[in-house]
Chain A
């Protein structure tokens, strides 16, 4: 599958590399300021930081949806710019290797029904309708959403929509998964299910980068934490246990409140 999607072999031991990237919305509101980050294959990286610190923007940048105003971003050893993504082959290879689960499932689940939604990615990436259809069935079975297959998105609950969004991303079988606050606004049961899923996907060898506020489960779903300050810079990196032990750090980036209890 991979060889098919990526015509030239992209042998490299670095999945993503950001060098000193900055980004600002409308050239006015800064979101990232001189961020450097390397993600290796199979790694599970958690992005931590207060609301509005630039985590989501970084994820969009890693997915080639926004482009740095300065600095360089490479994926699988190739520079990712507006220009290189114009190239159909590169774009197709990149999109099939990287999947993004958005925070807002309402924006992500845009098709008239669930089956079409899940089929969207595989079809865009050039699978034949039969093949795509078979893949849809498998993903539906895997995520246990067969009962939802013919429903319209507005008939789904928040947790169901999240499942559908994840199914729609997994259907293209990406090797890198980006999650933007995956457990936000989910009930505890769905949160638990999702944490389990991320753990399993990591165990299956997927590279995972996720932005999260859920500190309790960090040790289960991350090998490395990257902490953002409210000034849109990276201020610390380290193993989850290490970061969680550093109360001062988490207080200084306004991620926790003096009243918060840490795991």
Chain B
């Protein structure tokens, strides 16, 4: 997901900085308040951790790799603003020292992975965790879902940034000047890789770390959970009513985040070479269930799969085509998050009840 220089036009990159710079400014001020003057060493060490997390490439069956970001876990431990800075610094290293991710594209890389990912992830985490105890299994599952949602939100944003390039920037003959794929190709390609592999990696990391800390280091968890009761302390009042509808809220929240980003693509003045919408939809679904595979392979694969139905449409309806593909992408993510949340709620309800008994007895 590290966008190298050359994939996005300099104009697009400027937009990335327009998003990232204010986020950094706010983050610096917020973080100074939260961790006071301990923020420098804390953020430095977390940035180093995020760098290491991104270094752990997890192989995907087809030979490519995906990696987690660590944004959501940092957001859970020290708040999303701390994550903004820590992940940005880690990305900065990669861009400057190791050529991983571009310097001009740094703004958008940060907007995706250091701003969108922690906030989306943290939001989902907060919603699912609700007012459960600090050591409740529900929190670990909420963290996993948050990590999953965060990285997918970032991937989705990256897909949009790639996808608007060919329509916005092409030469007089129609040759794309930057990333050549359209939204209807980039979104499925990016999302499939992240929904299946990288998202799960981030989910396992985020949930795994929270679960570990629940067993081994509760004080660290408490830093960013001031109002949350831990076992042995008095649990807060149980929220009764709203729990029922929560999975829906969570899914809607994630969908909202992504939908907000969607209009970016409508800036495209040129015509997206349109598709027959229903055909497209079916293929998306078909591809989703059939192919667990990595980014570059996808890009290749996708076009072979698509090209059956590709030329049927001559009357291109660019905006509709775009909206349809975006809606499909969002719907898939939203549905996935909804299902996960339902599962989490179900498991948490079963486990949480028995666990609460145990902890009470122990203490």
Contact string, A101-115, partner B, CB cutoff 8 A, digits 1/0? 000000000100000
Q: What are 3 pairs between A and B in contact, CB < 8 Å?
A: A26-B219, A110-B41, A110-B44
Q: What are the nearest 3 A-B pairs in CB distance? A: A26-B219, A110-B41, A110-B44
Q: Which residues of A contact B (CB under 8 A)?
A: 26, 110
Interface residues of B in 15-50 (CB under 8 A from A): 41, 44
Q: Inside 8 A of A26's CB, which chain B residues have their CB?
A: 219
Q: In the bound complex, how far is the Cα of B219 from the Cα of A26, in angstroms?
A: 9
Smallest CB gap from A28: residue in B: B219
CB distance from A217 to the nearest CB of B (A): 33
Smallest CB gap from A107: residue in B: B41
Smallest CB gap from B40: residue in A: A110
Q: Which residues of B contact A (CB under 8 A)?
A: 41, 44, 219
Q: Inside 8 A of B219's CB, which chain A residues have their CB?
A: 26
Q: Inside 8 A of B41's CB, which chain A residues have their CB?
A: 110
Q: In the bound complex, how far is the Cα of B44 from the Cα of A103, in angstroms?
A: 21
Q: In the bound complex, how far is the Cα of B350 from the Cα of A187, in angstroms?
A: 56
Q: Inside 8 A of A110's CB, which chain B residues have their CB?
A: 41, 44
Q: In the bound complex, how far is the Cα of B218 from the Cα of A26, in angstroms?
A: 12
Q: In the bound complex, how far is the Cα of B44 from the Cα of A110, in angstroms?
A: 10
Smallest CB gap from A26: residue in B: B219
Smallest CB gap from B219: residue in A: A26
CB distance from B125 to the nearest CB of A (A): 25
Q: In the bound complex, how far is the Cα of B328 from the Cα of A191, in angstroms?
A: 68
CB distance from A82 to the nearest CB of B (A): 12
Q: In the bound complex, how far is the Cα of B41 from the Cα of A26, in angstroms?
A: 21
CB distance from B64 to the nearest CB of A (A): 31
Smallest CB gap from B44: residue in A: A110
Q: In the bound complex, how far is the Cα of B40 from the Cα of A110, in angstroms?
A: 11
Q: In the bound complex, how far is the Cα of B44 from the Cα of A26, in angstroms?
A: 24
Q: In the bound complex, how far is the Cα of B219 from the Cα of A15, in angstroms?
A: 35
CB distance from A131 to the nearest CB of B (A): 24
CB distance from B55 to the nearest CB of A (A): 16
Q: In the bound complex, how far is the Cα of B41 from the Cα of A110, in angstroms?
A: 9
CB distance from B97 to the nearest CB of A (A): 12
Q: In the bound complex, how far is the Cα of B44 from the Cα of A22, in angstroms?
A: 32
CB distance from B232 to the nearest CB of A (A): 11
CB distance from A121 to the nearest CB of B (A): 16
Q: In the bound complex, how far is the Cα of B1 from the Cα of A18, in angstroms?
A: 56
Q: In the bound complex, how far is the Cα of B44 from the Cα of A247, in angstroms?
A: 47
Q: In the bound complex, how far is the Cα of B219 from the Cα of A62, in angstroms?
A: 25
Smallest CB gap from A25: residue in B: B219
Q: In the bound complex, how far is the Cα of B219 from the Cα of A110, in angstroms?
A: 24
CB distance from A170 to the nearest CB of B (A): 22
Q: In the bound complex, how far is the Cα of B223 from the Cα of A26, in angstroms?
A: 13
CB distance from A154 to the nearest CB of B (A): 12
CB distance from B213 to the nearest CB of A (A): 15
Smallest CB gap from B222: residue in A: A26
CB distance from B198 to the nearest CB of A (A): 29
Q: In the bound complex, how far is the Cα of B44 from the Cα of A230, in angstroms?
A: 36
Q: In the bound complex, how far is the Cα of B134 from the Cα of A87, in angstroms?
A: 37
CB distance from A86 to the nearest CB of B (A): 11
Q: In the bound complex, how far is the Cα of B42 from the Cα of A110, in angstroms?
A: 12
Q: Inside 8 A of B44's CB, which chain A residues have their CB?
A: 110
CB distance from A95 to the nearest CB of B (A): 14
CB distance from B277 to the nearest CB of A (A): 55
Smallest CB gap from A110: residue in B: B41
CB distance from B225 to the nearest CB of A (A): 15
CB distance from A208 to the nearest CB of B (A): 27
Smallest CB gap from B41: residue in A: A110
CB distance from A117 to the nearest CB of B (A): 14
CB distance from A106 to the nearest CB of B (A): 11
